[in-house]
Amino acid sequence: MKWLTFVLGVALAGGTSLAQPQSSSTDRWILTGTRLYVAPNLPPVDDAWVLVKGGKIEAMGSTPVRPPKGVRSNSACSGGVITAGFQNSHVHFMGPRFEHADTQPRAQLEHSLVLMLTGWGYTTVVDTGSDVANTVALRQRIERGELQGPAILTAGIPLFPVNGIPIYLRDAPPELLRLLAQPATAEDAVAVVGNNFARGANGTKLFIATPQGERVIKRISAEIAAAAADETHRRGGLVMAHPTDLQGVKDAVAAGVDIIVHTTIDPPGSIWTDELIGTLRARNVSLIPTLKLWTYELNKAQVPTKFEELAVQDAQSQLKAFSDAGGQVLFGTDVGYMPLFDPSDEYVLMTQAGLTSMQILASLTTAPAARWNAEARRGRVQPGLDADLVVLNGDPGVNVRKFADVKCTIRGGREVYRQTKS
């Protein structure tokens, strides 16, 4: 029998650690697959198996294996392509689907989590803006084992410019609009960040620039943005920025943000220069492309197809240039704001931008684990790491749409989603 063993010498260095529901310490089971992607930068293993004990990966190997005594076979999830669990780095828990997360019936909430997240392989998600109390209540129910769902990191209540709620949020329910922070001073911004963290946030989201209509853009002042970023870093969190336009990207970098959560399509023909990309790289800023969002927004605005295609090409060019320069790409779809759950189009758009299937796998696994200082727990299929796994019905190395064809999602050794036969 050929064993694949790996020594993990990386200690968890900072960041926020979440509790995780674990399987019984005596529960030992084996998963087999036609192919195993241990990590994006390692060759795949065919005819593979993964041994799980107590919610952790105990061992993996190749060639057929007969389960040792006392080890059960997970036949329902076996037979596919195995990877580490995916992270969607841009989601939102908003709207009726997730309201009253502290009291909403379990079956209802789990159904929503499957439709939006676990059914697509996400074992970890980053909420980039929501009612922090409600999202933390949802997270707590999952961590207590009351619900099956992903690990949740949240930015809580976002910060906006003074009198700068974007035009596309103005029709939101009044109770939501009242929550949206618009700090007028650096001290106000520090207080908002502190309140978010006190209620369970893991980071901060800055709407650094917001469209007001008629080509008017409101911007958070440099002093306020820097104060919010500094306080977030002091508390051990990451800072995310919604840039809106090219100037917003520059302002976000100047403020010290860690993650740009969108590419930009305003103004038309936006090019991220080599100088800007070099600055992003030098300051270790990550990018979440959200390419699918642009087709959604431009379709909603009834923009002619040819202009929509040009806008998406601008965003794809930004992603390509950033990736080619060695920038860290994080997968994210803005689902929750955008009511389109299937991420297949995002995978295709990233491929059309020039990313390989293994670069996309990295954006789902190793890159977000590194960004959140969680490499010692997740992101690869290696002994000692959490048994966060995805089983796919086909090989994404051959067809990137297979990233969205999920057979089973396993978090901490427990199934949180299993595909049912239609």
Number of domains the chain contains: 2
Average pLDDT for 370-390: 98
One domain for residues 161 and 269 = yes
User: Which single residue is written with the structure tokens 């019984």?
Assistant: 24
One domain for residues 61 and 113 = no
Residue 410 predicted with pLDDT over 90: yes
One domain for residues 411 and 282 = no
pLDDT for res 371: 98
One domain for residues 338 and 405 = no
One domain for residues 125 and 175 = yes
C-alpha to C-alpha distance for 223 and 164, rounded to whole angstroms: 16
CATH of the domain at 252: 3.20.20.140
One domain for residues 144 and 36 = no
Task: Answer with the residue of higher pLDDT: 308 or 171.
Answer: 308
Instruction: List pLDDT tens digits, range 83-115.
Output: 999 999 999 998 899 999 999 999 999 999 999
Q: Cis (ω within 30 of 0) for the bond into 267?
A: yes
Q: How confident is the model at residue 173 (pLDDT cuts 50, 70, 90)?
A: confident
Residue 4 predicted with pLDDT over 60: no
pLDDT for res 136: 98
C-alpha to C-alpha distance for 287 and 275, rounded to whole angstroms: 16
C-alpha to C-alpha distance for 68 and 111, rounded to whole angstroms: 35
Instruction: List pLDDT tens digits, range 336-362.
Output: 999 999 999 999 999 999 999 999 999
What are the backbone dihedrals phi and psi of residue 401, each rounded to the nearest 5 degrees, phi first? -65, -20
One domain for residues 130 and 278 = yes
Task: Answer with the residue of higher pLDDT: 420 or 139.
Answer: 139
Q: How confident is the model at residue 267 (pLDDT cuts 50, 70, 90)?
A: confident
CATH of the domain at 77: 2.30.40.10
Task: For residue 372, count CB atoms less than 10 angstroms from its CB and return exposed for 0-12, middle for 13-18, buried for 19 or more.
Answer: buried
Q: How confident is the model at residue 25 (pLDDT cuts 50, 70, 90)?
A: low
DSSP state of 295: H
pLDDT for res 66: 72
One domain for residues 35 and 135 = no
Instruction: List pLDDT tens digits, range 234-257.
Output: 999 999 999 999 999 999 999 999
What number of CA atoms fall less than 13 Å from residue 160's CA on the CB side?
21
Pick from 170, 189, 173: nearest CA to 181: 189
Torsion of CA 294, 299, 304, 309, to 10 degrees: 30
Pick from 395, 394, 375, 397: nearest CA to 386: 375
DSSP string, 4-38: E---------SS---------TT-EEEEEEEEE-S
pLDDT for res 64: 67
Its domain, for residue 174, covers 86-371
One domain for residues 70 and 95 = no
Residue 284 predicted with pLDDT over 60: yes
One domain for residues 248 and 365 = yes
User: Which single residue is written with the structure tokens 């593979």?
Assistant: 48
pLDDT for res 186: 98
One domain for residues 139 and 257 = yes
Average pLDDT for 6-33: 54
